[in-house]
Structure 1
Amino acid sequence: MGASASPGGHWRVGEGRRFCSSRALSVRELRRWGRTQELGFSRGGPGPCLPPPQPPLQPVASPDAPGRLLPAALVFRPNFSAPRAAPELPPPPARSPRGWGRRGRPRCCLPSALRDRGARPAAMKPSWLQCRKVTGAGGLGGSLPGSAAARGAGPARRAYVAPGPRGALGGRGCRSLSTAGGGGEYKTHFAASVADPERFWGKAAEQISWYKPWTKTLENRYPPSTSWFVEGMLNICYNAIDRHIENGQGDKIAIIYDSPVTNTKATITYKEVLEQVSKLAGVLVKHGVKKGDTVVIYMPMIPQAMYTMLACARIGAIHSLIFGGFASKELSSRIDHAKPKVVVTASFGIEPGRRVEYIPLLEEALRLGQHKPDNVLIYNRPNMETVPLAPGRDLDWDEEMAKAQSHDCVPVLSEHPLYILYTSGTTGLPKGVVRPTGGYAVMLNWTMSSIYGLKPGEVWWAASDLGWVVGHSYICYGPLLHGNTTVLYEGKPVGTPDAGAYFRVLAEHGVAALFTAPTAIRAIRQQDPGAALGRQYSLTRFKTLFVAGERCDVDTLEWSKKVFRVPVLDHWWQTETGSPITASCIGLGNSKTPPPGQAGKSVPGYNVMILDDNMQKLKARCLGNIVVKLPLPPGAFSGLWKNQEAFKHLYFEKFPGYYDTMDAGYMDEEGYLYVMSRVDDVINVAGHRISAGAIEESVLSHGTVADCAVVGKEDPLKGHVPLALCVLRKDINTTEEQVLEEIINHVRQSIGPVAAFRNAVFVKQLPKTRSGKIPRSALSALVNGKPYKITPTIEDPSIFGHIEEVLKQSS
């Protein structure tokens, strides 16, 4: 019995034959079932992801790759004269669960109490392998949409197939060192990730399925970018959808769609997602989209947006999702930069109190730009008028799906770009973050258990927008990779219909963990300070609240703990990293009650340090530049689309050998990170560097203030002095003059007179992006009477005019 491989198929466990199937095997399965005493591997084969091969047998020429030598055991010698009996499998060797035993055999995964007696749990009898039907080019049993049998292709034949990899719903296999939880594990895992990143992430990569194992775990071919799982081949859509169905979990809920703006709720199973995604992949291929082409997605928070992301990933196309309602000028610049073959959009988006017409915005963007896509695929939202199609260019979603043929997954290299995500930048060119497929899949799957402490099957809700990195990582890919149910919410924390909306969703859908931005919590608190609306709901399954996207002040944190009655954990990451840099890794035993104000400890793989401008490491509690020692772990960006020079200059030139986060903060003695502000948000007051974030936290800790932004105002004597823009809570009856006096005294006591804080203005609202961030550079320019730019991501640009009037009156 041996393992076989082919350029277009998966590594399989079988009879030394070449199989071509949509069933991928994890590297763990290759190790566990594909290595026996008589099996060797080809030169340049799986590499460090597998243990050293046995002494090679007499090599012969490979039938698939001339000049490549294979052990005799792997050569395809067809013999159809009679079916062969299944070979006897040796019992699992009774060894330690960690690593590999002598002679290249996998060690046993039994508990020590059973292992010491040489026993085997009854659940593992009679064999660790299952006999399944495998088609010539399709899925297991040929029953899935898009499988070979479903298309009437080729006769089925029997082969011995290993069970699904651990990490999928219902998966079986050894427990991975990189995903196990428990007290005290964090330190061990972090140390291992820094000392031997190849071994650490190689183990994490065993939790997903690969068409072809990698030859090298880590390689710095194009510094400062790091390549992970070199020459490995996979498909992230297969890992997110197909493999769970093959493990018998097709009827489990994949997506809960909750849209208070349209009064719509729906549950969508993994099978239903696969049917839609595979057909949509067929539509894209039919209209000329192939591996490596780009597709722009311009859609609201609806399941069809997720289907499009997954369909692109299924065929190896690179998607660039731009959140619905983005202004025509900015949309045009992104279309020109990405040059999509197809644009996929919807007829309308729904915001509280208004309907956004997407087609006129898109038409104007195409008129302004140079690049013209071949086709525009339009999804007409139900119960709304149908938009007219442009002849020869536009395609109707429903018509195309009705006649579509399902399409199988296309294997891609680990470094193949999954998506381009445009983020804010100071240059004229759009800044498109490029995400590599393999490392991203490995990291997201690992974080769902190790950071967020979730088990497959639990309900997860990331209350963000699909157009932001949180939406990509933790609405779409992360939860589905890990076999969780993800909530897709088309609504707001307040106003859809009220401040009890989040509590309703948590209770109604049995959410285990929520990820949101502190600004959403502040909005709820401002509207309902006593959380009276929230107390109507029973949150029996709710375990943890995670916040990120901006600094979470202690007052907001404590209020959240009180009203949600669960641990509230702040963590920190960036669009460029795609997953947390620092966090309380509760799946690895980190505390659920860390010190207030921190953003967690360094996530394994991220060697975070605090340096001054001369690259000297600072002591605990000294404010400095937050940097990450290279290499960056899997999942981090591999570059900027069509702008590698800016990639090197922006992130790696200031601190050679490090990734510059461009954030400022400090670490305490226990390794907790306190992110205070962006580096350019540090205010220089008479030679003293004061963090705007520290002043904001002090102001917000005064019970009268619901929201606050601090910027530096030019001063002829001190250079700059801090100015606070404050939003008062609705239940405050004190005069603004009295509140200002109290806040000034409060900041003086908590920070000291060095902050020179003595001025604040009160506004009805602060401008925020759709991800909840405050546009500080624009506010700073406004406060100092300079020209400012309102970015298209601002939800309500009219707030700038209101603040300008308030500043004029106060002066």
Structure 2
Amino acid sequence: MSESNEPVSAPTAYADVYRRSLDDPEGFWLEAAAAIEWTVPPTRALDDAAAPLYRWFPDGRMNTAANCLDRHLAAGHGERTAIIYDSAVLGTVEHISYAELTDRVARFAGVLRARGVGAGDRVVIYLPMTPEAHVAMLACARIGAVHSVVFGGFAARELAVRIDDARPAAIVTSSGGIEPSRRVEYLPAVAEAVALAEHAVGSIIVKHREGFATSLEDARAAVGSSTGSRWLDWDEAVAGAEPAAPVDVAATDPLYILYTSGTTGTPKGVVRDHGGHAVALAWTMANIYDVGPGQTLFTASDVGWVVGHSYIVYAPLLVGATTVLYEGKPVGTPDAGAFWRVAAQHGVRSLFTAPTALRAIRKMDPEGALAAEHDLSELRTLFAAGERLDPETQGWIGDLLGVPVVDNWWQTETGWPIGANPVGLEPLPVKTGSCTAPSPGYAVQILDGAGQPVPAGTEGNIALRLPLPPGTLTTLWGDDQRYIDSYLSAFEGFYATGDSGSIDEDGYLFVMGRTDDVINVAGHRLSTGALEQALASHPAVAECAVIGLADPLKGQRAAGYVVLKSGVAVDGEAGLQALLDDLRAAVRSTVGAVADFKQVAVVEALPKTRSGKILRKTMRQMADGEEHTVPSTIEDRSVLEALAPVLRTGR
């Protein structure tokens, strides 16, 4: 197999594009940059003077917000729908045109500018899934400010940590977020965070929402004048604001900071630039997601995560598409047919969600009856990312919808897919369990612990040869050395993804999970992803997790935890034991006796982050009796508390 790793059986379009992206990155990305409107077009693609800190389009100048908004108005598309705000929790739908969104953004940019916020200043955004999130992010980009979105509802102490790291001039927030069964008050957390933080925030701008207990006046009174912050009402501030025009920024200037968990407990602020980000996302919309001007993309994520940044906010607007902003859940608002209702009602062409959402839908509606109630004829492709898409779920949803189900794999740090099926370029044959092929621009290699390439089909460390393509992280906020130490030091000349996987003889990439999810049972290295795949193949299983526990004899042993599909009945203790025996047999027949898989339990739910990742590390630490910190991103702490006795006893 060639070093570039393109599938040898791939259609010519992909193979040629992929090879060119690695052989001639300068020409490839300068050509892609033509899709963006520049005030000063770049003459160079890559600046490697400070390698391994690379920069893209170093002599180019532009404005991201102008590319998302103003240029579409100038082209006569102001009446085209930019955002469909679909609030399942409120039962309302709002269509916002490009002209209206541009006006809202310009006016809110004027609010920020009037408060002294300018190019390079940071703004923390702590908002629910409402149009104000788009407006605030784009307003920052419009005036060259650097936004840092923190997931609405994060605990006050976690918010304070991010305030002290980013040192923002302003915070933009709301009364709160609405969940299917509760309302989450934001203002008490913001007030507490501002009081806890050492950094003094100049302005706090609050969008009022009806039905919340804490008012702007309550929040002001809670902190008094001790913080030096000025609290402003969003609507009042906008009413008196002068619209702000887009400012010219360097392509290499920072657009946003997005925090991701750090191994030391200190969050890492991933930095994305303006130029490379815009070029890469525009390229992916055409070539990976197959969505263009006037077509609709429904990304069922949250603006607090990288998927929301890239494919709810920036990428669709960069190409003049329509983006669905969905305030709701895959189940419970009102049922497991919520996604299908949204897709049918709004003529969605591509749907992008997390595997955990698909598993939740399958658990509640295993026969897929609710999908049959909606006309999904306009849906062309379903994309999944955020966690490994197990083959069982991939097959189920593909059969149900009758459209290609495309797993794509990437990270907060990369900002767009490392591996995907380029359906807009030329679709490749699907292999279940694979995210298909490395995306153009990514030189993917599988390395052993010593940094040497491994044979095709052999599992190892997934690494990306430097330089990374445009749109990936340029550094960590305020700490170049931490970026180098965290990502670039494990294998010389490579970015270490921290994930394990393999590339087969055809060049297809299989991602099995984090490298710390590989367990060693009596000298046999086993992927927990492979064990989970075996458990998920059982017809009663909706989702599952496997962790490696300390074992005095074998070093580690595998322990499995499964959630059953809705409606699956277990007949007493004898029925439960029969099911557990079936699950053990499934692993034995698929993985083999070397797994020595004996410990498995049925549980009500698995603890997850808000983005859908199962908290396997925390589960392992609890089961082994180790000290642990529950991540601030946990979706529902009560799930972990309910699971604790099972983790301690194994049953």
Please report the TM-score for the alignment, with normalisation by the length of structure 1: 0.76
Select which of 589, 612, 619 maps to 1:779.
Answer: 619
Q: 1:1-28 CA distances to partner (integer Å, 9 max, x unpaired)? A: xxxxxxxxxxxxxxxxxxxxxxxxxxxx
Larger helix share, 1 or 2: 2
Report how far residue 810 of structure 1 moved.
4.3
CA displacement at 1:807 relative to structure 2: 3.7
8 Å CA contact retained: 2:623, 2:648 = no
Aligned counterparts of 2:547 and 2:211: Cα–Cα separation in 1: 46
- What do the CA deviations read for 1:645-682 (whole angstroms, capped 9, x no partner)? 11001111110101100100001111111000101110
Q: Secondary structure at the match of 1:562?
A: helix
Aligned to 1:480: 317
Q: Does 1:526 align with 2:363?
A: yes
The answer to whether the Cα contact below 8 Å between 2:462 and 2:497 also exists between their aligned partners in 1 is yes
Q: State the shift of 1:758 in Å.
A: 1.4
Give the whole-Å Cα distance in 1 for the aligned partners of 2:238 and 2:451.
56
Q: How far apart are the structure 1 equivalents of 2:514 and 2:265?
A: 20
Q: Which residue of 1 aligns with 2:86?
A: 258
Separation in 1, partners of 2:73, 2:210: 29
Where do residues 668-747 of structure 1 align in structure 2 (5 Å cutoff)?
668-734=504-570, 735-747=575-587
Deviates more, 1:477-486 or 1:782-791: 782-791
287-296 or 723-732, which moves further after superposition?
Answer: 723-732
Amino acid at match of 1:680: D
Letter in 1 for 2:230: R
Given candidates 147, 169, 172, the residue that maps to 1:344 is: 172
Residue in 2 that maps onto 1:645: 481
Partner of 1:758: 598
Residue 454 of structure 1: how far off its partner (Å): 1.7
Q: For residues 176-209 of structure 1, give each alpha carbon's deviation from its aligned partner in whole angstroms, at most 9, with x where no partner exists.
A: xxxxxx9521100000000010000000001110
Paired residues for 1:218-233 under 5 Å = 218-233=46-61
Which one-letter code corresponds to 1:250 in the other structure? G
Aligned residues of 2:188 and 2:214 also touching (Cα < 8 A): no
Larger relative contact order (Cα-Cα within 8 Å, sequence gap ≥ 6): 2
Question: In the alignment, residue 618 of structure 2 is paired with which amino acid?
Answer: A
Match of 1:500 among 337, 341, 344: 337
Name the counterpart of 1:594.
430
Contact 2:206 2:216 in 1 (8 A): no
Which residue of 619, 628, 651 maps to 1:788? 628
Amino acid in structure 1 at the alignment position of 2:359 = R
% of aligned pairs identical? 49
For structure 2, which runs of at least 5 residues remain unmatched after alignment?
1-9
Contact 2:183–2:212 at 8 Å: present in 1 too? Answer: no
Q: Which residue of 2 aligns with 1:8?
A: none
2:303 maps to: 466
> 2:385 is matched with which residue: 548, 563, 573?
548
Q: Tell me the distance in 2 between the aligned counterparts of 1:384 and 1:651.
A: 42
Residue deviations 1:95-125 (CA, integer Å, cap 9, x gap): xxxxxxxxxxxxxxxxxxxxxxxxxxxxxxx
Q: Which amino acid aligns with 2:172?
A: V
User: What is the CA deviation profile of residues 290-343 of structure 1, one whole-angstrom value per residue up to 9, with x for unaligned ones?
Assistant: 100000000000000110000000000000000110001100100011010010
Q: Which residue of 2 aligns with 1:618?
A: 454
Q: 2:36 matched to which residue of 1?
A: 208
Give the conservation status (yes or no) of the 8 Å contact 1:261–1:490: yes
Counting matched residue pairs gives 629
| 1:335 aligned residue (163, 173, 176) | 163
Q: Is the 8 A contact 2:30 2:44 kept in 1?
A: no
2:6 matched residue in structure 1: none
Is 1:433 paired with 2:277?
no
Structure 1 residue 382, shift from structure 2 partner? 4.5
Q: Which amino acid aligns with 1:668?
A: D
Q: 638, 641, 648: which one pairs with 1:798?
A: 638
Contact kept, 8 Å, 1:727 with 1:765, in 2: the verdict is yes
Deviations 1:571-595 (A, max 9, x none): 100000000001001122132x411
CA distance, structure 2, for counterparts of residue 252 and residue 383 of structure 1: 32
Q: Distance in 2 between matches of 1:274 and 1:454?
A: 21
Given that residues 380 and 386 in structure 1 are in contact (C-alpha distance below 8 angstroms), is that contact kept between their aligned partners in structure 2?
no
Could you tell me which of 575, 584, 591 is aligned with 2:412? 575
Equivalent residues of 1:256, 1:487 under 8 A apart:
yes
Structure 1 residue 806, shift from structure 2 partner: 2.5
Q: Match for residue 131 of structure 1?
A: none
d(CA) in 2 for partners of 1:590, 1:476: 25
- TM-superposed deviation, 1:803: 1.1
Distance (Å, rounded) in 1 between the aligned partners of 2:60 and 2:487: 27
The residue type equivalent to 2:242 in the other structure is Q
The one-letter code sitting in structure 2 at the alignment partner of 1:636 is: T
One-letter amino acid of the structure 2 residue matched with residue 602 of structure 1: P
Specify which of 89, 95, 106 is matched with residue 267 of structure 1: 95
CA shift at 1:229, angstroms?
Answer: 0.6
Give the 3 Å change call, closer, same or farther, for CA 675–401 of structure 1 in structure 2: same
Of 362, 368, 375, which residue of structure 1 is paired with 2:196? 368
Tell whether the 8 Å contact from 1:545 to 1:568 is kept in structure 2 after alignment.
yes
Q: Distance in 1 between matches of 2:457 and 2:617?
A: 26
Deviations 1:150-191, CA, capped at 9 Å, x for gaps: xxxxxxxxxxxxxxxxxxxxxxxxxxxxxxxx9521100000
Q: Bigger radius of gyration, 1 or 2?
A: 1
Q: Are 1:258 and 1:487, in contact at CA under 8 Å, matched by a contact in 2?
A: yes
Superposed CA deviations along residues 549-585 of structure 1, whole A, max 9, x for unmatched, are 1111111001101222211010100000000001001
2:488 is the alignment partner of 1:659: no
* Residue of 241, 251, 264 corresponding to 2:69: 241
Paired residue for 1:558, among 391, 395, 414?
395
Change (3 A) 1:713 1:259: same
SS of residue paired to 1:225: coil
* Distance across 1 between alignment mates of 2:111 and 2:625: 52
Residue 736 of structure 1: how far off its partner (Å): 2.0
Whichever residue aligns with residue 524 of structure 1, its letter is I
How big is the alpha-carbon RMSD for the aligned residues of Structure 1 and Structure 2?
1.3
Q: CA deviation at 1:428?
A: 3.6
Secondary structure of 2:46's match? strand
Q: Which residue of 1 aligns with 2:130?
A: 302
Q: Which amino acid aligns with 1:280?
A: F
SS at match of 1:617: coil
Partner of 1:95: none
The 2-side partners of 1:644 and 1:630 are apart by 16
Return the alpha-carbon distance in structure 2 between the equivalents of residues 588 and 469 of structure 1.
23
- Contact kept, 8 Å, 1:709 with 1:726, in 2: the verdict is yes
Aligned to 1:605: 441
Deviation at 1:730, TM superposition (A): 2.0
Question: What residue number does 1:452 align with?
Answer: 289
For residues 787 and 709 of structure 1, the distance between their equivalents in structure 2, rounded to whole angstroms, comes to: 21
Flag the 1:716–1:809 CA change in 2: closer, same or farther, 3 A.
closer
Distance in 2 between residues matched to 1:574 and 1:221, nearest whole Å: 26
Cα deviation for residue 388 of structure 1 reads 2.9
Q: In the alignment, what sits opposite 1:175?
A: none
Q: Which amino acid aligns with 1:232?
A: G
Displacement, 1:746?
1.1
Deviation at residue 535 of structure 1 after TM alignment: 1.2
CA distance in 1, matches of 2:363, 2:172: 37
TM-score between both structures, scaled by the size of structure 2:
0.95
C-alpha contact (below 8 Å) 2:444/2:465 kept by paired residues: yes
The CA distance in 2 between the partners of 1:427 and 1:788, in whole Å, is: 12
Give distance in 2, aligned partners of 1:509 and 1:399: 32
- Which AA in structure 2 matches 1:561? G
Q: Is the 8 A contact 1:695 1:710 kept in 2?
A: yes
After superposition, give the CA deviation of every residue in 1:687-732 in whole Å (9 maximum; x if it has no partner).
Answer: 1110011100110011111111100011111100110011111222
After TM superposition, list the pairs within 5 Å mapping 1:387-426 onto structure 2: 387-389=215-217, 390=220, 393-426=230-263
Shift of 1:366: 1.2
Cα pair 2:622 2:648 within 8 Å, conserved: no
Write the letter of the residue equivalent to 2:82: A
